[in-house]
Amino acid sequence: MRNDLGPLFSPFACGPLVLANRFVMSPMTRQFSPGGVPGENVAAYYARRAAAGVGLIITEGVGVDHPAAIGHGSMGEHDIPVLHGHGALSGWRRVVDGVHAVGGKIMPQLWHMGGIRQEGTPPHPQAPSLDPYNVTDEDIVAVIAAFARSAANAKAVGFDGVALHGAHGYLIDSFLWAATNTCNDAWGGDILRRTRFATEVVQAVRTAVGPGFPIVFRLSQWKLQDYEARLAETPEQLAVITDSLSEAGVDIFDVSTRVFSTPAFAGSEMGLAGWVRRLSGKAVITVGGIGFDRELAASFAQPTLAIDNLDEVVRRFTAGEFDLVALGRALLMDAEWVNKAREGKPFAPFDLSAYARLD
Ligand SMILES: Cc1cc2nc3c(=O)[nH]c(=O)nc-3n(C[C@H](O)[C@H](O)[C@H](O)COP(=O)(O)O)c2cc1C
């Protein structure tokens, strides 16, 4: 084993959640679940990564039990899984059992696409897409209840916790972000009111799963609609969001950045995960650009190399910036990535064709 990576191979505990190491599989939509049901291929895909040393898997985004939660997304996504109905629940039970059988841990990422969902697309083409400016109080109540139901289902099928997609401009984030939440009512206005929807989702999920069941919340400054967007211009604004969500029941923040080492605010080299950890006192996950010389968006358009940038990960981990380290593309393209890092072996090359496969 590479001695310098020792800290990343130390165990992690958060309440009842105990992980063998600090590596997390970042949520990645894969579009291999026709009818919303994950099959044997999806179960094998996750089990392969758990068996190859990934401490925690956060699944692809999973549509919550609300008609407008999913559809085709801005990139034409389809065949996205759900977490309700007999078929999907049996499918997920197989996924969870497969991961547990090899000693791994797994949580589903609960997702409502909000305004990014394309109107008129399945599974419920007649359901209008939801944005902060067009939702009714009735819609809000229904969506919050949907998150709670899906979280309860996650617990019932044996997942080790639940992760909420509060990032990238989807429904929860569209309430947090001033550019999409232009309401001036109970759900919008200042940053505290923009956080209310997210907070109520977390509270309802906490009530549904009870104490001691880990809740992970993903947030991001960047949005699919605008990579330069900012939820918070200052640490003080960020603290309004993280305080409110922590109080509502979040245990771990999954801090989505395009490049994990980018300084979040002027005057400090600390990344966004470090700020969330400092402000909230909660455990945090960092993500973005680990294992590659280009970040996600650039890697679609420009030649990209698999690299070893774990020195910088260890340096920031040791400095106390984050507790857990998530990998997206690295684990999509190389199921053995974590074991290879541990042994100092070369990683599989960057390969766009891997997006179309589930191996
Ligand atoms: C194919 C693909 C699908 C993704 N789907 C999701 C998703 O469903 N939910 C989410 O929060 N992020 C999603 N992401 C973003 C990743 O979780 C991760 O934050 C991003 O890829 C940056 O990490 P990386 O540089 O290690 O790839 C996706 C990324 C990829 C490559």
Cα gap 264→168, rounded to integer Å = 16
Which one of 23, 24, 25, 29 would you pick to mutate in the ligand 1 pocket, going by the greatest count of ligand atoms within 8 A of its CB? 29
pLDDT for 138: 97
- The conformational region for residue 170 under phi > 0 = left, psi -120 to 50 = alpha, else beta, is beta
Domain count, the chain: 1
pLDDT-derived band of residue 1, with 50, 70 and 90 as boundaries? confident
Nearest CA to ligand 1 atom 4: 28
The structure tokens listed for 173 are 């984030």
Q: What is the mean pLDDT of residues 286-309?
A: 97
Predicted confidence (pLDDT) at residue 3 exceeds the cutoff of 90:
no
pLDDT for 77: 86
Predicted confidence (pLDDT) at residue 214 exceeds the cutoff of 90:
yes
From the list 243, 90, 233, 78, the residue with the least C-alpha distance to 157 is 90
Range of the domain at 240: 3-356
> 11 and 20 in contact (C-beta within 8 Å)?
yes
Predicted confidence (pLDDT) at residue 76 exceeds the cutoff of 90:
no
Radius of gyration of the chain, Cα coordinates, nearest whole angstrom = 19
Q: Pick the atom of ligand 1 nearest to 258's CA.
A: 22
pLDDT-derived band of residue 258, with 50, 70 and 90 as boundaries? very high
Q: Which residues are annotated as catalytic?
A: 170
Nearest CA to ligand 1 atom 10: 27
Q: What is the mean pLDDT of residues 196-219?
A: 98
- The CB of 330 under 6 Å from ligand 1? The reply is yes
Number of H helices, E strands in the chain: 12, 10
Q: How far is the CA of 168 from the centre of ligand 1 (A)?
A: 10
pLDDT-derived band of residue 326, with 50, 70 and 90 as boundaries? very high
Q: What is the mean pLDDT of residues 95-113?
A: 98
Nearest CA to ligand 1 atom 28: 28
Q: Pick the atom of ligand 1 nearest to 289's CA.
A: 25
pLDDT digits (tens, 9 = 90+) for 147-161: 999 999 999 999 999
Q: What is the mean pLDDT of residues 152-181?
A: 98
From the list 97, 107, 64, the residue with the least C-alpha distance to 82 is 64
Residue 258 is part of a domain; what is its CATH number? 3.20.20.70
Predicted confidence (pLDDT) at residue 137 exceeds the cutoff of 90:
yes
pLDDT digits (tens, 9 = 90+) for 121-136: 999 999 999 999 999 9
pLDDT for 74: 84
Instruction: State CA 172 to chain mean position distance.
Output: 12
> 284 and 218 in contact (C-beta within 8 Å)?
no
